[in-house]
Amino acid sequence: MLRDDLGFTATKVGCDAGDCGACTVLLDGEPVSACMTPVGGLAGRQVQTLEGLRASGECHGLQTAFLMHGAAQCGICTPGMLVSAAALLRVTPAPTEQQVMDALGGVLCRCTGYRKIITAVMNAGAAEVAEPSPPVGKAVGHRVRRVDGQRKVDGTDVFGADDSPAGALVIRVVRSPFHRARFQLGDVDAYVAASPGVVAVLTAADIPGRNRFGVIPATADQPVFAEPDEEVRFRGEAVAMIVGEPEPMAALDTATFPVVWSELPPVMSIDDAQASGAPRLHPTREGNVLIRGNVRRGELDRAFAAAEIEVEGVFETGFIEHAYIEPEAGYAERIGDRVEVQVTTQSPHMDRIELEAILGLPAEAVRIKPTAVGGGFGSKLDLSVQPYLALAAWTLGRPVRLTYTRPESMMSTTKRHPSRLRARVGATHDGRLTAMDFTGEFNTGAYASWGSTVANRVPVHAGGPYVYDAYRARTVAIHTNGPPSATNRFRQSCAWQFAFRTERLGSLPIRVVPTS
Ligand code: FES
Ligand code: FES
C-alpha cells in the first residue's frame, strides 16, 4: 500500500517475508516490517516512513552522518537503517555500539559490512555539516562523498521496482518445478480466455528473433523460454509468461496453467555430469564440458624435484547466492518502433545487444535505462527480467513491469560456481615457492553465462602474486542441471590460497618476491 497506492517508494521490499528489514517503518514510533503489517489493523495508529522523517527534519543529522561515513553504498537498505536508527536516537541520543547493533539488527546490508553504518549512527549528533568534497586533483587522502549519495540517504534514488508507467501490465513467469524435465503446453488460448484480467500468454513461439541469450556471444545458449521439443535444464527455467492487469494477476493461481511435466533424472554434481553414460545437456558439448583453461610456465617435474618441502590439498566450495537486497525488477514500454527497458542492471550495453538479438531489432530500436542497483555483486551482469519485459512490451504494445519475488530471484538467477580445487605446492626451507600444480573443476550449471570466463581466469589468478620456477594450472567448467553459475571467480581462486597458506604453509617464512 505504501509503495503502490501512496507512492512512498523510500520504503523498499527486499524479501516480502519479514527477513531483510528493507521495508522498516515506524508504527507508533516502533520499528516494524511493513511487509508483515496488515493494513487492516492500522486504524488510528501512526505510520512513519523515511519520507515523513525527512520532511520533519528529524533525521537530518543521521543522513549527514551516513554521507560522511560512507554508510550508504548501494543504498537499498539505507531507508530501513535510517528509520531504525531514528527510533533509537529518540530514546537514546548517545547510543553505545552495542545499542546501535541491537537497534539495527533487523535490517540486513550486503554492501557495507555494517561498520560504517554503526559509526555513522554513533556520530549522528556530531555531523551537522558534511565535509565538502575536495577540489579536482586533491582527492587522495580525503573522504569523497558519493555523487549520488544524497539521493540514497533521502530515499529518492530510483531502483528497479520504484518506477513504472501508469497502466502498466504485470508479468508472471511460468517456471519448471524440476531440475530436468520434458514438458508440453496445453491450450494457452483457452487459458487466457478463461482467466479474467489475463491479457496474453507468451512462449518460445512468440520470440521474433533468437531464442537464446548469454553474456559471451560465442557461448550464448540460454533460451528465454524452453522450447517444447527440448528439455528444461534447471529448476526455475522459464517456459512461458502470463501478462495481465495488476489486480487480477495478484490473485492468479498459476497452478492451473496448462503445462504437463515429465520429470527426468538430473545430473547435479561434477562427478555425475562426467560419469560414463551421463546425459549430455548440450548436444555439441561432449562430456558436459563447456570449456577448459590452461596456464603453464617452466618445467614442473624439475621444479618439484628441487623443492625441499611439498604440500598438497583439496578444497571444495558450494553454490553461493549473491543475495543482493534488491530483487531483479524493471519495466518496459514500446515507443513507436523502439522498445525502452528501465531495469536494475550492471551491464546496460550487454543487455541491449542481447535484446536486439531476441527481438530481431536493430541496435537503435532498443534502449536500456539503468536504474540504481540495490546490490549486484556480479549476478546482475546477466539478463534476468529484461527479455520478458522487452518481449511483452514489444508484442503487446503496452507498458509492462516485473519484479521477481525473492524465491524466484534465488531460483532463476546466476550463482557463484561450486568448485573442487586441488593444489600441490613446492617450496624451499628459506621460504621460496618453487612449483605449483593446480586443477580446478567448476560446476557451471545448466547454461554458459560467465562459465568460460571463470574457467579461463582462475588459472591466471590461482598462483596469487608469487613467482614460481614452474607453474601449471588447469581448469574445466562442467554443465549440470543446477542453476547457471556466473561471477565471482576471484573468491574461488583465492579461497584455497588462504586455507592452504594458513593450514599448511603457515610455519614457513614465506617471502613475497615482487615482479616487474
Ligand atoms: S522484511 Fe519486509 S521486505 Fe524484507
Ligand atoms: S548499502 Fe546496504 S545493502 Fe547496499
Please give the distance, rounded to the nearest whole angstrom, from the Cα atom of residue 2 to the centre of ligand 1: 13
**Residue located nearest, by CA, to atom 4 of ligand 2:** 74
58: alpha, beta or left, given left = phi > 0 and alpha = psi -120 to 50? alpha
Give the Cβ contact number of residue 7 at 10 Å: 9
Ligand 1, residue 13: give the atom nearest the CA.
Answer: 3
Among 77, 373, 380, which is best to mutate for testing ligand 2, by the most ligand atoms less than 8 A from CB? 77
Cα 271 to Cα 41, 277, 478, 489, distances in angstroms: 54, 12, 9, 21
Among 23, 37, 104, 107, which is best to mutate for testing ligand 1, by the most ligand atoms less than 8 A from CB? 23
Give the Cβ contact number of residue 253 at 10 Å: 7
Residue 288 to residue 293: CA distance in whole angstroms? 15
| 480-506 average pLDDT score | 64
| 111 ligand 2 Cβ < 6 A | yes
Please give the distance, rounded to the nearest whole angstrom, from the Cα atom of residue 227 to the centre of ligand 2: 38
pLDDT digits (tens, 9 = 90+) for 5-14: 999 999 999 9
Among 4, 15, 76, which is best to mutate for testing ligand 1, by the most ligand atoms less than 8 A from CB? 15
Of 184-193, 286-295, 422-431, least confident by mean pLDDT is 422-431
Residue 37 to residue 16: CA distance in whole angstroms? 11
Q: CB within 6 Å of ligand 1 — which residues?
A: 13-16, 18-23, 33, 35
Ligand 2, residue 325: give the atom nearest the CA.
Answer: 3
Whether the pLDDT of residue 496 is over 80: the answer is: no
Provide DSSP, 136-154: TT--TTS----TTHHHHHH
Please give the distance, rounded to the nearest whole angstrom, from the Cα atom of residue 485 to the centre of ligand 2: 23
- Number of H-type helices and E-type strands within the chain: 15, 19
Give the Cβ contact number of residue 452 at 10 Å: 20
Residue 397 to residue 481: CA distance in whole angstroms? 35
pLDDT digits (tens, 9 = 90+) for 177-214: 999 999 999 999 999 999 999 999 999 999 999 999 99
Whole-number average pLDDT of the chain: 92
Burial of 273 (0-12, 13-18, 19+ CB in 10 A): buried
Three-point CA angle 14, 20, 26, nearest 5°: 95
Please tell me the pTM assigned to this model: 0.92
Please give the distance, rounded to the nearest whole angstrom, from the Cα atom of residue 14 to the centre of ligand 1: 5
What is residue 304's predicted lDDT score, i.e. its pLDDT? 96
Please give the distance, rounded to the nearest whole angstrom, from the Cα atom of residue 16 to the centre of ligand 1: 5
What is residue 130's predicted lDDT score, i.e. its pLDDT? 56
pLDDT digits (tens, 9 = 90+) for 369-418: 999 999 999 999 999 999 999 999 999 999 999 999 999 999 999 999 99
- Helix 115-122 crosses helix 97-104 at what angle (to 10 degrees)? 120
Ligand 2, residue 77: give the atom nearest the CA.
Answer: 2
Of 25-39, 406-420, 484-498, least confident by mean pLDDT is 484-498
